[in-house]
Structure 1
Amino acid sequence: MPKRTLYSEDHDLFRESVKKMYAKELVPFVEEWETKGLVSREFWKACGDNGMLLPDIPEAYGGGGLDFKFNAILLEETALAGTTGPAFGVHNDIVAHYIHNYGSETVKSHWLPKMASGEAIGAICMSEPSTGSDLKAVRTKSTPVDGGFILNGSKTFITNGINADVAVIAARVGDDSGAKAISLFVVACNEKGFIKGNKLNKVGNRSSDTAELFFEDLFVPTENMLGEQGSGFIYMMKELPQERMSIAISCQAAAQHAYDLAVDYVKERKAFGKAVIDFQNTRFVLADMKAKLQVGWAHLDACIQALVDKELTTTEAASAKLWHSELRCEVVDNCLQMFGGYGYIEEYEIARLWRDARVMRIYGGTSEIMKDLISRSI
C-alpha cells in the first residue's frame, strides 16, 4: 500500500486501537459469524465500549465528535480483516446521519446514544421486492391518523435486518405516485406491526445479516417523521453520496487485502520446480493490480477529503462507487486465479473474498445506474 497523507497522527492512533480490538474481538469469530449468518451483539457492544460507533456524530449525542475519516478507518480495517460482517457503513454512515440530520431533538436524544453504545443497531429500509435503485417507485404506504401514521408494506435486502433495533423507513404518504410523496420515518423494531421475515441466504456477505421486513398497521408517532413530510426523496439523494463513498472505501481496502493474500501465496506456492511468483505472467498480473491499487488509494483519499470538506459531488461519489467496486471484483478474481483450485475451496479466505465482492456492483446503486448518473454530468 502506498504512503498516504490523508490521515493525521490522531487518525493513526485510532487505526492502531481498531486493529488491536479486531485481533481480539473480530478475527477469531469471523468463521462463526459466517456460519450463523450474523454478527454477535456482544461485538457491537464491544465496539461501543471502544468508541468505534458513531465517530462523526456530536459528543452531545454519544458520538465521538470527530470527522468522517475515522469512519473511513473503520471501513478500511474491517475489509482488511477479511470480513463484511459488522455493517458500519449502514449503522455509522447512513442511519445515524439520517437521524442526526433530520430527526427531532427527542428522536436524536433517544436513539443516537443507544447507537453509539452498541445497545441499538440501525437499519435503513429503502429497497422493496419491486423497487431497487428506482427509489421513486417506493410502494410502502403511510396513512395519516390522529397522532401519527399507519405504515403498511414490505422491504427486502435490508442489511442488519435481523439484528436491528431501530430502522429508518421510506414510505409514501398519500396517493401521489411521484417522489414528492415520499417521507422518512424512524421506528423501533420491536413495535407491534414491525415484522422481521426471513434472513436471506446470500451468495456472499454471509456474516452480514440481511432480511425481509414487513409492516402491518405499524403505528408511527408524528414526531418520528424525519424532517418535513414529502421531503424523503430529497433527503435520500443528499445522503446517497456518503453511502456510496462508504462502499468505495470498503471495496478499495478489500481489493488490497486480496492482493496481499495473493502475493504471500504465490511466494510460497511451488509449480514446475519454482515459486509461482517467478513466472513472468504472475509478476505482470501482480504489477498491473499494484498499479491500479496505487491509483485507487490516491483517488479514494481525494474523495474522502472532499467529503469531509463537504465538496464531494453526487457525480464524483457515483464515479468512486463505480470504479472501486469494479476494481474490487477485478482484483479479487485475478487473485483467486493465482490460488488455482485451492482458491475455489471454502477453507481458503480468498474464496470468501471472491463471494463477497460480487454484490458491491449491485447495492448502493448498480454499476449501470452509476454510469447513468455520471453520464448526466457530461
Structure 2
Amino acid sequence: MTDTTPTSLTDRIEAALRDVRDPNADLTVFDAGFVDDIAVDGGEVTIETDLTALDGQTSTQVVQAMLHAVDDVEGVESVHVERTTPSSEGQGGVESFDRVVAVASAKGGVGKSTVATHLACALAADGDAALFDADIHGPNVPELLDVSGPVHSSEEGDPLPVRAGPMDVMSVGLMESGAPLAWRGAMAHDALSDLFENTAWRADGTLVIDLPPGTGDVVLTTLQEVPVDGVVVVTTPFHASVSDTGRTVELFRDNDVPVLGTVVNMAEYVCDCCGEPNDLFAGDALADLDADVLAELPFSRDLQGTPAPGDVPGAVAELGAAVEDALDTAGEVTVADDPDAVDIRDLPPEERKKRVRERFTALDSGERFVLVSDRDPTPVGSFLGRLAEAPREAFDPFEVRRATPSDWVLETEKP
C-alpha cells in the first residue's frame, strides 16, 4: 500500500488548512479562494489571505481556525495570518470580462433570478464566472446564494464583490442589508452605472447579469452601457408569458443584442409518488416563440435549493453547455451555409430579385426554398407568388424569423 501522507512541511500545512472551512458556503478555505499564498521560512509560516468576502466576525473566526490548525502541525514554530486586499488594477468594471451574458424576462415570477443564479454556478464549473445582480428593485441573488455583505473596497476605493465559494457576486442588495429599495430614474441609473463601471472583479471569464423583469430603464441602461454578448430570456409555458416574451426578444434584437435563446421554466412537474411528469400549463404556447429553446426546466426541489459553483442539477448543467454553444455561434445565421439558401444580404435591389428568381424557378413543386436577408423578407412572398403564379395562401409553410439583430430568414416550399 502506497503511503500518501504529506512529507514536506508545506504539504502538511496545506493538509491542515483543508480542514478549515468557509462557514457560509461550507467549502475549504482553498476552494473558497481565501488562501492567496503560504510562505514557509524554516519553522516560521506566513499565510496570506483574502477574506474581504466575509463579514468582520466570520473572518475573525476563519483566521483563528487557520491559526489553530497550522499551529498544531509538526515542524511549525510560529504562524502568522496576513490579510491582503486585492487591487482593482486591470479588473475594473464589466469590460474586463471576456463574455457577458444577460438573463431577462418579460414578467416577474417566472424564475429569472433562479435561472441566472444556477446558470452562473453551472458556468463556474468549467471556467471563471461571476454574477451581477442588476435587479435593482428586487435584488434577491444574495438570498438565493446565501451570501451577505458588507461590501468592502479595494486599495483604490472600488467596491469588491463578495464570494460564493470561488465565484464573485455583486448586488445592490449586498449594500442595502435587506432594506426595501424604492429608487427612481436617475438614482437607480447612477447606482447601477457606478457598479458596472467600478466593481473590482477578480474574475474575468464570463459575467452573468440578472436583469430586472420587463423592459424598463434599468434594462435599457444595461444595453447601452454594457457590452452584452448575448441574452437568455426566461419564460413559463403560460400563453401570456410567452406572448410578452416574444416582445422582449424583439426589444433585444432591436438593440443589436444577440438572443441566445429561451429557458422554459416550470415546464413540468414530476410527481414524487409515481414519478410521472405532469404539465403545469395547458396548450402549446411555445409554438409561437420566435427563439431557440435552450432548456426546459422542471418545477423541482433541485432548483429550489441553494446552488454552488460547479454543483448544479443535471438540467442546469445542460443549460450551461447550451449557453456556451450559443455564445460560440452568436450573431451567425446557421442556414447561411445551407447550399439551398439564397443569401441576398448587402446586395443591390435588382441583384436581390435576380438571385431569388433564379433559385426559386429552378425548384420543383414541393422543394424547400430558404432566403437569408438583412431586412424583413415578408414582402418577398408576393414576388414568389407571381413567380409561381399562385396565391400567397398556396405557400405552406411560409415562415419568417429574425435570426440575429440584423438577419432574417424566410423558409417555405414551392407550391
TM-score per shorter chain, which class?
under 0.3
TM-score normalised by structure 2 residue count: 0.22
Q: Which protein shows a greater Rg?
A: 2
| Larger relative strand fraction | 2
TM-score normalised by structure 1 residue count: 0.23
User: Which structure carries more relative contact order (alpha carbon 8 Å, separation 6+)?
Assistant: 1
| Larger relative helix fraction | 1
